[in-house]
Amino acid sequence: MVNAGALFIPILEPDGALYATIARSMAQAGDFIDLRVGGSDWLDKPHFPFWVAALSFRAFGINSFAYKFPALLFWAAGGYYTWRLALVLYGRSVARFAVLIYVSAAHLVISNNDVRAEPYLTGLIAGAVYHFFRASRNRSKGGGLHIVAGSALAACATMTKGPFVLVTIGAGLLVDCVRTRDWRQFLLPRWWLALVLIAIFISPELYCLYRQFDMHPEKLIFGRQNVSGIRWFLWDSQFGRFMNNGPIRGSGNPFFFLHTLLWAFAPWSILLYYAIVHKSCKWRVANRAPVPGDFLCLGAALISFSMFSLSKFQLPHYLNILFPFFSILTAEKLDHLEGQVSRRAFTMIQNGIALLTAILLCELAWWFHFTAYKGLIVLLLALSGLAAFLVSPRMKMDKGAVGKLQTAVMRSFWLALIAYAFLNFCLYPAMMHYQAGMVAGKSLRSRDGIPPQEVYMLREAPSNYSFTFYCPGTIRYLPMDSLRINAGAGPVWVFLSSTYMDSLRSRGYNIQALRRFPNFHVSGLTAGFFDWRTRPHALDAWFLIKLGDSSGGASRDQVSK
């Protein structure tokens, strides 16, 4: 329920709004082959999440709920497969802990709000690994069904992010085979069948890319012609970024994800670090009969984590696809934490994290300066106390050090849920008032006489995809000088940043500013924006203006409230 709270929050700029805009165009045009934005061909991500979102738009209408709902279902599927994989590897107790950890990991909750490709990938990759592992241990007819299911999920993951996801899916299985010395796996025909099935299942993606790009070498993509969509999908989109020689490049730090994980996997990150180190050390311990699958999650997590760290293109949400494996690794160590000293140490750590979470929530409530923020602080204190001192102690199953550890774990879990409820029901709704494109687009739906049949945006200016998505009218992108032709036939409406107002004035346009919208990129929070005392200095402004033909005289501004 806490994670589902994100369904009713508007879509965030920039990537979420961009993807929603593409899916909206696909749904409205009925064209499920071409990916287009602003009237231009778009080549960056594969089709699968856009297909799913477009079908959701067809079913539920063009709104935030329809865009986020299927992503939430795939996230939930990730939780389901986390349960199934942990259950078959380590049993019911570990599976229960793994699900609690998965549903309360910080960046998964954030990604259910700022929806990109990661919620889809999390469910698809976890499902593919589960089915392939079951196929590797089931030589009967049931193994064939797992091969088909795993191949279908792996293909959908490939059509979401690119072929690099196959490394994450296969890495754990490969490491597990090496650890158990099960060399016969490499000779089984079922794995060749899996590769054939994946190739068949991704054929719709290859067909769409061929139709849109390879059949039209005259199209200008990334500033050049003769761009192959199939080559981009199979190589440049992922391998080009990893080697940093593709059209889109980055500059990465090999330690970026190491410290990012501290907050992204909160409140479980300290336990995760310990679990990974402890499990890695067990590799060299003599074991005549290694448990099948014991190193499956470690292999999938470490190899992918190392690959991301070596890449020059790094963003925090890349780690999300590893969270099912991180959750199982943490839960397995938590369930088998040995020694009273270790349990006591981690009890203190988790209790400390819970206490800091409660203090941080109250500090954030004051810092952001909500309406009636004092009452909100008291409410948060009451909820935190209820979760920390009344609910969690009743949920322990053992006495002594083990029971105290379980109490600390449940305390962390409940306070994490309170924190995410604060995020989804208090903080994000308040911050979204500063996303100018969304506010402007929604205001056009409610004001009489607006919108006109077309609203213009400047081709020279930065894009504002939330306005494109929420605006009920048609959006057209034009250069500044081309506006004069349209303005000559009558007034036109333009949505633009304040930076470009002077450029239009210098061209002699008559400008009537109808409304001003304060703006901040909510997906990239800063201390200056979060502090209510410095927030006005962190904002810029966007305007909805009415533009007339040039008159040779001075332009005038009339800004309504």
Which comes out higher in pLDDT, residue 291 or 226?
226
353 with 329, same domain: the answer is: no
Residue 558 covered by a domain: no
For residue 477, the surrounding DSSP H or E stretch is: strand 474-478
pLDDT in tens, 497-507: 888 888 888 87
Residue 561 covered by a domain: no
Name the residue range of residue 373's domain: 340-433
290 with 212, same domain: the answer is: yes
Asked if residues 315 and 256 have their Cβ atoms less than 8 Å apart, the reply is: no
Which comes out higher in pLDDT, residue 411 or 561?
411
Q: At 477, give phi and psi (nearest 5°).
A: -105, 125
d(CA 157, CA 324): 15
What's the structural domain count of the chain? 3
425 with 500, same domain: the answer is: no
319 with 383, same domain: the answer is: no
| Final residue in a domain of this structure, among 335, 366, 382 | 335
Asked if residues 158 and 209 have their Cβ atoms less than 8 Å apart, the reply is: no
Tokens 């594969």, residue? 46
Q: At 252, give phi and psi (nearest 5°).
A: -110, 165
166 with 58, same domain: the answer is: yes
- Average pLDDT over the chain reads 84
pLDDT in tens, 222-279: 778 888 889 889 887 776 666 555 555 556 677 888 888 999 998 999 999 999 998 8
How high is the pLDDT of residue 268?
93
pLDDT at 342 over 70: yes
Tokens 């609203």, residue? 455
Structure-derived torsion over alpha carbons of residues 95, 97, 102, 103, reported in degrees to the nearest 10: 110
How high is the pLDDT of residue 513?
84
191 with 78, same domain: the answer is: yes
467 with 444, same domain: the answer is: yes
pLDDT in tens, 433-472: 999 999 998 888 765 455 556 788 888 888 889 998 998 8
d(CA 130, CA 122): 12
Helix ranges (H only) for 423-551 are 428-431, 436-446, 465-470, 483-488, 501-506, 527-530, 535-538
Residue 463 covered by a domain: yes
Average pLDDT over residues 389-415: 66
d(CA 237, CA 246): 7
Q: What percent of the chain has pLDDT over 70?
A: 84
Average pLDDT over residues 412-430: 86
Q: Which of 200, 212, 83, 76 is CA-nearest to residue 148?
A: 200
Tokens 């795939």, residue? 74
Residue 218 covered by a domain: yes
392 with 508, same domain: the answer is: no
299 with 413, same domain: the answer is: no
How high is the pLDDT of residue 387?
61
331 with 442, same domain: the answer is: no
| Final residue in a domain of this structure, among 433, 467, 499 | 433
Out of 116-125, 284-293, 319-328, least confident range: 284-293
Asked if residues 537 and 494 have their Cβ atoms less than 8 Å apart, the reply is: no
Strand 36-37 with 40-41, pairing: antiparallel
394 with 505, same domain: the answer is: no
How high is the pLDDT of residue 373?
61
Residue 555 covered by a domain: no
pLDDT in tens, 53-69: 999 999 999 999 999 99
Asked if residues 280 and 159 have their Cβ atoms less than 8 Å apart, the reply is: no
Q: What tokens appear for 223 in the block? A: 């500033």
Q: Which residues have CB under 8 Å from 36's CB, separation 6+?
A: 22, 25, 42
Residue 65 covered by a domain: yes
Average pLDDT over residues 80-103: 94
Which comes out higher in pLDDT, residue 210 or 485?
210
| Final residue in a domain of this structure, among 312, 335, 358 | 335
Out of 31-45, 95-109, 540-554, least confident range: 540-554
pLDDT at 484 over 80: no
**Mapped to the 3 state alphabet, what secondary structure does 49-64 carry?**
HHHHHHHHHHHHCCCH
400 with 537, same domain: the answer is: no
pLDDT in tens, 6-48: 999 999 988 899 999 999 999 999 999 999 987 788 988 899 9
Q: How confident is the model at residue 558 (pLDDT cuts 50, 70, 90)?
A: very low
Q: What percent of the chain has pLDDT over 90?
A: 41
Residue 553 covered by a domain: no
Residue 560 covered by a domain: no
CB contact burial 295-307 (16+ within 10 A = b; e otherwise)? bbbbbbbbbbbee
